[in-house]
Amino acid sequence: MSEGTLMDPDRQHAPTPSADVTLIGRHTQQRTVVVEALVRAEGFVGAQALHNRLAAGGSPVGLSTVYRTLTALADAGRADTVRDTNGERLFRYRPGPDHRHYLICTECGLSRPVDSGPVEVWADTIAQTSGFANVRHTVELSGVCPDCGRQHAAVERR
Q: What is the pLDDT along the chain (158 residues), one digit of tens a residue?
A: 433 333 343 444 445 555 665 556 666 788 889 989 999 987 899 999 999 999 999 998 999 999 999 999 998 888 888 888 788 899 999 877 777 788 888 888 888 888 888 888 999 999 999 999 988 887 888 899 999 998 878 887 77
Q: Between the CA of residue 55 and those of 8, 49, 107, what are the distances in Å?
A: 25, 10, 26
Distance CA 18, CA 12 (A): 15
Distance CA 46, CA 3 (A): 8
Distance CA 125, CA 48 (A): 37
